[in-house]
């Protein structure tokens, strides 16, 4: 701060702002290499650390990505718009669509890792589902990949006794996914609650989502309820924060 009370923006932030403006104006397009540290040092008369911090700002905001030995490039991946309300309507999964297809529209989304099994319920899961501690739950752990990039880890827990023998206990649940199968079992979800928070990823999450250093994750925990208020699924999701826009569209 100067004597006149004016806040001076750090040099690295000014350089980062200039780079973002150049990207917005089309000077650098998706996949283009950005000026390196040496280039920024020469152009702006700053130290290497300042140039590195400027590039780090773009990487932390998901605008650019570093490629080992090659430099920093404008990201080619476009964030996925997650429509938090439309994706869970009965009209969607009741017609045989998965909730994920509502987000992806015409983009290529696949599940490349899936684990389905039975295990004792964790205390917080048991509490929500109205089970006793260690009572068995059916667990479905999946990794979703969009346009070749891992973007989401999803772990669903359902009362094992409720879904025993149903397609929910198999890797492929069939058209409409878990919610369509629950409806067939007489436990149709009619209400959902989602809680969202953020944190830095664990080492396992970093590896499975192939996250650049410093990238946070979004945690979305969704609970599905039947008409009588019974919780029938808890889905704990870990999202690459750089890959998602969370959209909630509703009337007043």
Scan for tokens 């000077």, then name that residue.
Answer: 27
Which residues lie below 8 Å from residue 156, measured CB to CB, with a gap of 6+?
A: 139, 140, 178, 233, 234, 235
Q: State the pLDDT confidence band at 1, using cuts at 50, 70 and 90.
A: very low
Q: Model confidence over 182-194: pLDDT tens digits?
A: 999 999 999 999 9
The yes-or-no verdict on residue 17 having pLDDT over 80 is: yes
Of the candidates 193, 237, 240, the residue with the CA atom closest to the CA atom of residue 219 = 237
CA–centroid distance for 236 within its chain:
11
| Weakest mean pLDDT among 23-27, 88-92, 116-120 | 88-92
Percentage with pLDDT > 70 across the chain: 88
Predicted confidence at residue 100, as pLDDT, reads: 65
Rounded to 5°, angle at Cα 214 from 206 and 157: 35
pTM of the model: 0.74
Q: What is the mean pLDDT of residues 121-138?
A: 94
Predicted confidence at residue 183, as pLDDT, reads: 94
The yes-or-no verdict on residue 212 having pLDDT over 80 is: no
209/220 Cα distance (integer angstroms): 16
The yes-or-no verdict on residue 148 having pLDDT over 90 is: no
Helix (H, G, I), strand (E, B) or coil at 152: strand
**Do 143 and 113 contact (CB within 8 A), yes or no?**
yes
**Phi, psi (degrees; rounded to nearest 5) at 44:** -115, 0
Structural domains of the chain, with CATH:
11-74 (1.10.10.10), 80-247 (3.40.1410.10)
Q: Model confidence over 238-252: pLDDT tens digits?
A: 999 888 888 887 777
Predicted confidence at residue 251, as pLDDT, reads: 76
Q: Model confidence over 24-82: pLDDT tens digits?
A: 888 998 889 999 999 999 999 999 999 999 998 888 777 888 888 899 998 877 777 77
Which residues lie below 8 Å from residue 116, measured CB to CB, with a gap of 6+?
A: 138, 139, 140, 141, 169, 170, 171
Residues in the chain, overall count: 252
The yes-or-no verdict on residue 3 having pLDDT over 60 is: no
């Amino acid at each position: 701060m100067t004597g006149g009370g004016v806040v001076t923006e750090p040099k690295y932030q000014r350089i980062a702002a200039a780079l973002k403006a150049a990207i917005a104006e089309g000077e650098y397009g998706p996949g283009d290499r950005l000026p390196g540290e040496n280039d920024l040092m020469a152009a702006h008369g700053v130290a290497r650390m300042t140039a590195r911090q400027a590039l780090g700002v773009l990487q932390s905001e998901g605008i650019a990505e570093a490629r080992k030995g090659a430099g920093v490039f404008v990201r080619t991946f476009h964030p996925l718009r997650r429509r938090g309300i439309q994706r869970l309507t009965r009209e969607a999964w009741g017609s045989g669509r998965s909730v994920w297809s509502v987000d992806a529209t015409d983009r290529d989304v696949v599940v490349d890792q899936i684990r389905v099994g039975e295990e004792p319920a964790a205390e917080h899961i048991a509490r929500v589902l109205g089970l006793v501690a260690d009572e068995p739950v059916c667990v479905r752990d999946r990794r979703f990949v969009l346009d070749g990039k891992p973007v989401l880890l999803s772990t669903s827990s359902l009362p094992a006794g409720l879904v025993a023998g149903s397609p929910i206990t198999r890797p492929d649940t069939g058209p409409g996914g878990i919610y369509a199968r629950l409806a067939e079992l007489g436990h149709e979800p009619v209400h959902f609650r989602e809680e969202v928070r953020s944190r830095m990823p664990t080492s396992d999450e970093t590896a499975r989502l192939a996250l650049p250093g410093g990238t946070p994750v979004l945690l979305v925990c969704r609970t599905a309820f039947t008409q009588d208020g019974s919780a029938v699924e808890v889905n704990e999701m870990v999202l690459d924060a750089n890959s998602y826009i969370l959209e909630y569209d509703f009337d007043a």
